[in-house]
Structure formats: C-alpha cells, structure tokens
A and B are shown apart, each in its own frame.
Chain A
Amino acid sequence: MAGVGRHSLRGLIARRIAITVGLLWIISLLVFAATQVLPGDTASAILGKTATPESLAQLRAQLGLDRPVTEQYLDWLGGVVSGDLGRSLAAGLPVGELIGDRVGATLVLAAVTLVLLVPIALALGVLSGMRRDGKLDQLVSWLTLAGVAVPEFVTGTLLALLLATWLGWLPAVSLIPPGESPLAHPQFMVLPVLTLLVAGLASTVRLVRVGVAEAAESGYTEMARLSGISERRVVRRWVLPNALAAGVQVIALTAQWLVGGIVIVEMVFQYPGVGQTLVQSVQSQDIPVVQAVALIIAAIYVLLNLLADVALVLLVPKLRTRR
C-alpha cells in the first residue's frame, strides 16, 4: 500500500495547486471574452447617445480598443500577473486603489456571516438530523425549504420593510461613511448579515442534516448500537466525525455561495462592497474594473475550493489512498 506517505500528500496538494492555476488562467480567458461580447463597447458607453463615428474612433484609439483582441488580452494578463489591474476608464484611477477598500468591506461581511452561520448550521443540522422526522426536524425542514425557495433580494427587501421601515429598529440602507470600517458601524451590518444568514442557513442546514441522518442510520452506527454502545458515545465516536467532513464541504460551499449572494445583498442595502462596484461597472461598461472584480471573485471561489479539498483530504484518510 504505497501512497499514504507524506510524499504523495505533498504531490496531491501540488497537483491541486497546479490545477487551480490552470483554472484561474481559463477564468481570465472567460472573463476577458465575456467583457468583449457585452453589447456596445467602452467607447460607445462613455459617449452614449452623443457618439459620432469620428468621436468613437478617436476614443477607441485613445483607450487602445482598436488593437487586436489577443494583444489587448496579453497586455491585460501581463498586468494582472504583475499585480497591476489596470486603470478604471470612468474614474481614471488605478483599479487596485479604487476597489481596495471595497474588497475589504466585502470580506468583512462574508467573514461575519460565516462566523455566525457555521455553528448555527452545524447545531441545527445535527439536532434535526439525529431525530429525523421529529417535531424539530419538521419545523427546520419547512423553514429551510422556504429559505431556499425565496431569493436573497426578496428576503432582504422583506427584512428591510419589517425591521427598518415598520419597526424602525435598524437603518434600511448601509450608508457606511467613506474610509471607515464596517465593523465600526455594526448597525449597518445587521440587515445584510441577517439576509445572508437566512439564505445561507437554509441550504447548509439541509446539507448537514442529510449527512448526519445518513451517518446516524448507517450500518456501522446500527452495529455499534446493537453492540450495546450508548447513544451518546455512538454520536460522538461515529456520527459527528462523519458530519464534520460534511461540515468542511458545507463551509466551502457556503463561502463560495456567499461570494455570489453578496453581490445581490450589497445592491439591496447599498453596502459599499465590491459587488456593488461590479454591478455599477457593468452598467457603465468600465471594463477594467469589471475584469478585475470578476477575476477576484473567481479567484476567491477557486481558492476556497482548493482549501476545502486539502482540508478534506487531511480529515478523511481514505481520500489520500484513492487513485
């Protein structure tokens, strides 16, 4: 049984990293291609209705849009690799400078959501999974089903209506003063986090619940119970470790889902994050910003995947031997 050693573990991780780099390159191609097929181009977006053929040609030349596409792509890729994300066409500032704060604000929102979501999801998932079809399980099932069915922008709007407009407990819009950390203004984070939690919990609780229920009803726990081992010990020794493996995947999935869900929630509450920037830049066809944000979001997604894979391999020995 070769292959369980340190060497192959390192090899496996190296292989995963190589795949990740390859993926990121493919993503960069896709992002670039996607921005090329957007209706209109940056020049016509800037000039809008006032465009004349002459002014369009002039602006395209200034922006370098008249060069071959491959040349534009290679230029851009070269910049990205060396840490230069280009210049915003609308603001005329380096993209990095423009979105730095916003990436931070988005990460804070994602982190706060995750920190709250993971323990709640695990607790609810284990409790309802252990007593399948019990009262708690049925309640959780219904609630999570509803949560999965309702999109974030509806949840967010309803929560804002209830907690901000009607009850007046919270601000409806997250108007965080420029340059300040969202953590310094917790009142502005409640509604966005709550909205993400409602949507996030729905899917994660269901995943954990299924994992726990499967473990709780599997042959080996059955066998353990029949051997007279106490339920408490069965749960601790066999059910929870298996649920934990599911948990890692759940965290990774949730984190990845958050990256997308945040864009919508940021728009609903005008939270000054990178998702809002993405939407605005698409509208103003500020292509360098769109490319940078899309690439950052994709990179986070892929990296989370990598981390989850590695963690899973470390947690579940069986995976290390599989070829």
Chain B
Amino acid sequence: MNKKRSLYSSEAKWGIILALPAILGFLIWTLGPMVASFVLGFTDWNVVSTPHFIGIGNFKKMFIEDFIFKKSIYATVYYSVGSVIASIIFAFLIALLLNQKVKGLPLFRTIFYLPSITPAIASAMLWIWLFNPDFGLLNQVLQRFGLPRLLWIYDEKQVIPSLIFMSIWGMGGMMVIFLAGLQGVPQELYEAVEIDGGNWWHRFRYVTIPMMTPTIFFNLVMAIIGSFQVFTSAYIMTSGGPNYASMFYVYYIYLSAFRYGQMGYACALAIILFIIILSFTLVVFKSSPYWVYYESARRR
C-alpha cells in the first residue's frame, strides 16, 4: 500500500512534466496568439506605425466599405458548402462500394486515396493544366461527348464550381474513414434485417445509415473546418480572380497581412472567420441529437 502511494505521487510529477511540452505549446502557439489576434483586431496596426485602438473600426470598414470582404465571404461559403456536400456524398458512395467485399480492395483504396496526399502545389499546377480552356484535358473530354467547352477557373461564374469539382478529387481521407466505419457495423444487424425479410434498401436505410451517423458527423465537422480554410488553390491557381470570384477568405487574410501590411485589419478578418466556423460547427453539433445515433444512448 505504502509503495503504491509513493508510486502515485511520482506518477503525478512525471505526468505533469511529460505533458508540459503540449501545455506550453498550447499557451505559446494557440492561446497566446488567439488572445493577441482578438486584441489586434481592434487596432489599426500596419507594421510600421504604432498600433492605435480604434474600437470596432475594422469591423465597420469590413461590413460597410470593403466589397472584397463580401465577395470573399460569398466565395468561401459557396465553396465550403459545395465541396463538403459533394465530397461527403462521393466519399460515402465509394466507401459503400468498396465495402461490398470487392476483389482488389487495397488497389482501389490506394487509387482513390492518393490524390488527397498529393502536395497542394503539385495538384494545383496539374489542375491549372487540366482546366486550360484551349489544351486542357477536361475540355477535350467535353468535346469528345459533344458538350460545349467551358472556361473553368477563368470565368467568374464557373470558377467556384470548378474548384468544388477539383475538391472531390481530394476526398480520399474521408473515404478511408467511412470505409473503416462501415467495416465496424455489426454483421448481426444485417442478418436480423434479412431474417425479417428486408431487402438491400432496408439494410441500407435502417442499419448502415444509422450506424454510420457518428462517422458522417465526424467527417462533416472536419470537412467544414478544413474547407473554410482553403488557401492554395486561390494562391496558386486563380489569385482570387476572376473579379474576386475566388477570393477565398484565408487568402484575403494573407493578402491583407502580408501584401498590404494591414495586420490589425487582417486580425479582425480572422476573428470573423473564427466566428463563422464556430457557428457552422455549433449548428452541426446542436443538430446532432436529431440525427446522430449513439450506441451508448440506445443502451440507456
């Protein structure tokens, strides 16, 4: 007993020491900068001058004068909603098919997964070329099927749908998570449906979908957070154009801070992004009791 108690006291000491890097890292690189962002967002700091406190001046400017800000909100929300929905549906569909005990599963899984680990810069270069209206592969395919050629990322209206299309190519991470979730669905449940005379639709609707809702929920939250922070495609492929139609929010923050030197304004923009992502995530979390099915809740 005595030995055990001394063991525990040294355990606590070691525990705190070993957790210290993460705690310090959180304070230095998360909490500290976050607080600083919230303070700087209320100043007019532009690197060279000393910062002045200007109250809600930055936010007034954003919502009243700054038309790029509005365009950037629109572009980002449009892209996020589109790419999250498209990627989730596509990833789920492919995962469902791969879960049918197909032969060559590792090969298929690799093929669908590889694009998602392609360096953003390499895939951006590749897709500029695929989107090329004159010589790009996509227009060649459209032409082959007798469809009209598109301008893709070079047209104000087509740029966001094009980038959403490109984002489906990177859905591999989600697909692997879905696949793992599907493989964890207890087989007895499917057998129970079959004994009751259910067909594939019943199995899908009353077993697969409910059992997968926690995984869908996880993917949804992570995809929302990720897609709101899209940067590389605007930086490399479109420079936010044409006519600011793809001025993604983080790219606009980057421009404000590191091109125009408006650090205070950029921090204010970041605060708004934080609030937007937080509210989207909260909506999903708040809605989860209505559609996410938890095993533990059922047992209760």
Q: Do A and B bind each other?
A: no
Q: Which A residues contact B (CB, under 8 angstroms)?
A: none
Q: Which B residues contact A (CB, under 8 angstroms)?
A: none
